[in-house]
Chains A and B, each alone.
Chain A
Amino acid sequence: DAKTTQPPSMDCAEGRAANLPCNHSTISGNEYVYWYRQIHSQGPQYIIHGLKNNETNEMASLIITEDRKSSTLILPHATLRDTAVYYCIVRVRDDKIIFGKGTRLHILP
């Protein structure tokens, strides 16, 4: 199984860009990179996904390196409401998502 490596926690000042890294060196050529987040006691929330190209939506940007071995989720202007655990997922077997431990992002006022 492809596995992801994320830092267990990160801090970011409110209003600044939050850059969350993810390593996925064993990703296969047809596997997508997905990002979800989970705000305390809520269900996980889909953020963004991509295959090769960088992607942007109303929530975030996803930067995938050319060799696809790592990616970065960017929250352009972090707010206190962005405090959450962020999950990077690249392995989907038979339509099943395998969650790791994620990165706990603290937004500092």
Chain B
Amino acid sequence: DAGITQSPRHKVTETGTPVTLRCHQTENHRYMYWYRQDPGHGLRLIHYSYGVKDTDKGEVSDGYSVSRSKTEDFLLTLESATSSQTSVYFCAISESKAGDQTQYFGPGTRLLVL
């Protein structure tokens, strides 16, 4: 399995509080991604990074920000959590070269916003 960890694995927070989720990789892959998964919607891309300090928005980026100051870490921040952000969050990594865009996923973080 690819070396990807996510922390915390579970979190309960209150509406309006800031939350930061961490994704850490030991594979030295260039690309990192944050997805959320909700019933009836499948996996949806929030933000992704194609290098240190290089990030871009996905299809559901509103209410989220990201940072990548080191190759191995990709942080997802909910500036002011809302109940609609209750979800399971997955991080993924990819080497993405020579046409091979295989992504490897972390174990997920379950977030409950009350």
Contacts and interface: CB of A to CB of B under 8 A. Distances in A.
Interface of B is mostly: strand
Interface in A52-109: 92, 95-102
Residue with the highest number of chain A CB atoms closer than 10 Å, among B50, B58, B94: B94
B107 A42 contact: yes
Interface of A is mostly: loop
B90 interface: yes
Interface residues of B, number: 24
A69 B106 CA distance: 31
A43 B106 contact: yes
Interface residues of A, number: 20
Given A32-B101, A95-B96, A96-B48, A44 B58 contact: no
Residue with the highest number of chain A CB atoms closer than 10 Å, among B43, B94, B106: B43
Interface string A21-56: 000000000101010000001111110010100000
A95 B105 contact: no
Given A44-B43, A102-B42, A97 B103 contact: yes
Contacts of B106: 43
Interface of A: 30, 32, 34, 41-46, 49, 51, 92, 95-102
